[in-house]
Amino acid sequence: MDDVPIGLIALIVLAVLVVIAVIQAIKVIPQAQAAVIERLGRYNRTTEAGVTWLVPFIDRIRSRVDLREQVVSFPPQPVITEDNLTVSIDTVVYFQVTDPKAAVYEIANYILAVEQLTITTLRNVVGGMNLEQALTSRDAINTQLRGVLDEATGKWGLRVSRVELKAIDPPPSIQDSMEKQMRADRDKRAIILTAEGQREAAIKTAEGQKQAAVLTAEGAKQAAILNAEGERQSAILRAEGQRAAQFLTAQGQAKAIEKTFAAIKQGRPTPELLAYQYLQTLPTMARGDANKVWMIPNDFSKSLQEMARAFGAKGDDGVFRYEGPEPESDTSRPGDVDDDVKDWFGSTTADAALAAVRQAEAAAQMPVEEGPLTTPRIRPQAPPVSEPALPPTVEPEDPDTPPPADPAG
């Protein structure tokens, strides 16, 4: 040790001191940070990102401040609402340091200060609201909190950008009540919607039934009208047929009487024949359930004589015999068919019968025009039915009129 020169030792110590001084004099500040530098215990300057030179053993960095926007989430805090309900509220605060000197020298712990200020302001704001308002007024609460915090933290070199309520949790009993209320509201809306649906369905069903009833009534009315028209046409045709049949029957009877009377006159009956026919008629006259006793008139023989005198001439033997006129050459015999009844014995052809049936069906199927119920309906006229040509009626001769006298007699 004695051989080491003192100057070398001093030189080594000096070099070490120089290295230490250089290390302490050169400082590197990262991006988005700021350093507060003190000289001899007093604030000297604030440096930004980069290389900073310090005076060794005189200057020192008091604090490094993060200039980025910071997010701080505070634990749930119990808050009493206006209606004396305790709710738990979680908050999140977004802030940024704008003045590092104020953040270091104006407040000891700005994060704790922001937390406590947020809690007190939140209790003040939510305490003036009831539970329903607190649950539905988050934007209003956020705006009030941000305004109060930004004003209070301005002197601390902080800028509060946003305040958000992360959760508002009412007590479990209140949550159960709210769930029951919401369930009741949902059930009420479901019942209302179901009732509305049933009402609409009932209205639609009633309208459908109404339309169906109207259409059914219209169909029944049309059917009744058509049935009535058909029955009317049928009754008309039936009546016309009966009328024609009765008229033809009457004509046939008249013609038969005429032929019978003519045959009797041409046959020249004797009084004996007339008496015989009269006697044959008596049982027919006496036949009947109400006839118990039938008496022959006293003047029966006298009546026969008068009838014989009226219809005959007295012969040589004293017997009255009917002598009619001599038959003319152009006079028809009783068995002949007269010209006026020739068409009675001709049968109707199938084409004529089919044409008559089609004409009747066309008259029965004529469309019925509809009109309002209060307006009288004009019934369509059926086409005229041509009546069969009837032969001229020949008046029968009066049986009481005596036949013309025979010029030969």
In CATH terms, 70-170 corresponds, of 3.40.228.10, 3.30.479.30, 3.30.420.40, 3.40.50.460, to: 3.30.479.30
Tell me which of 33-47, 64-78, 189-203, 282-296 is least confident.
282-296
Backbone angles phi, psi at 407, to 5 degrees: -65, -25
pLDDT (average), residues 287-301 = 61
Identify the sign of the CA torsion 106, 110, 116, 119: positive
Per residue in 83-105, pLDDT tens?
888 888 989 999 999 999 999 99
Check: CB of residue 237 under 8 Å from CB of residue 379.
Answer: no
Which pLDDT value is given to residue 388?
44
pLDDT (average), residues 102-120 = 90
Which of 135, 32, 130, 122 is closest to 81 using CA atoms?
Answer: 130
Backbone angles phi, psi at 157, to 5 degrees: 75, 25
Work out the pLDDT band at 251, boundaries 50, 70, 90: confident
Provide the residue ranges of all domains of the chain, joining segments of one domain with +: 6-66, 70-170
Per residue in 326-363, pLDDT tens?
555 555 555 555 666 556 555 555 576 667 667 766 76
Q: For the chain, give the mean pLDDT.
A: 77
Which pLDDT value is given to residue 261?
78
CA 75-77-78 angle, to 5 degrees, is: 155
pLDDT (average), residues 281-300 = 64
Which pLDDT value is given to residue 404?
47
Per residue in 169-211, pLDDT tens?
888 888 788 888 888 999 999 999 999 999 999 999 999 999 9
pLDDT (average), residues 126-146 = 88
Over pLDDT 70: what percentage of the chain? 67
Per residue in 220-236, pLDDT tens?
999 999 999 999 988 99
Work out the pLDDT band at 71, boundaries 50, 70, 90: very high
Tell me which of 1-10, 21-30, 31-40, 378-387 is least confident.
378-387
Identify the sign of the CA torsion 241, 242, 247, 252: positive
Which pLDDT value is given to residue 346?
55
Higher pLDDT, 48 or 1: 48
Give Cβ neighbours of residue 158 (< 8 Å, ≥ 6 apart): 95, 96, 97, 98, 103, 110, 114
Which pLDDT value is given to residue 204?
93
Over pLDDT 90: what percentage of the chain? 18
Higher pLDDT, 249 or 388: 249
Higher pLDDT, 206 or 137: 206
Q: Is the pLDDT of residue 298 over 80?
A: no
pLDDT (average), residues 152-167 = 89
Per residue in 262-272, pLDDT tens?
777 777 776 66
Q: Is the pLDDT of residue 214 over 90?
A: yes
Which pLDDT value is given to residue 245?
84
pLDDT (average), residues 31-39 = 90
Which pLDDT value is given to residue 53?
85
Which pLDDT value is given to residue 34?
92
pLDDT (average), residues 31-51 = 89
Per-residue burial over 115-128, b if 16 or more Cβ lie within 10 Å, else e, is bebbbebbeebbee
Q: Which two tokens stand for residue 205?
A: 């069903």
- Which of 15-19, 30-34, 277-281, 366-370 is the most confident on average? 30-34
Which of 105, 110, 109, 98 is closest to 43 using CA atoms?
Answer: 105
Which pLDDT value is given to residue 393?
44
Q: Is the pLDDT of residue 59 over 50?
A: yes
pTM score of the predicted model: 0.43
Per residue in 239-250, pLDDT tens?
888 888 888 888
d(C-alpha 321, C-alpha 409), whole Å: 12
Conformation bin of residue 372: beta by default, left when phi > 0, alpha when psi is -120 to 50: beta
Which pLDDT value is given to residue 371?
44
C-alpha dihedral, 8 to 10 to 15 to 18, nearest 10°: -170
Count of other CB atoms within 10 angstroms of residue 259? 19
- 8-state DSSP, 298: T
What secondary structure does DSSP assign to 210-250, as a single string?
Answer: HHHHHHHHHHHHHHHHHHHHHHHHHHHHHHHHHHHHHHHHH
Which pLDDT value is given to residue 383?
46
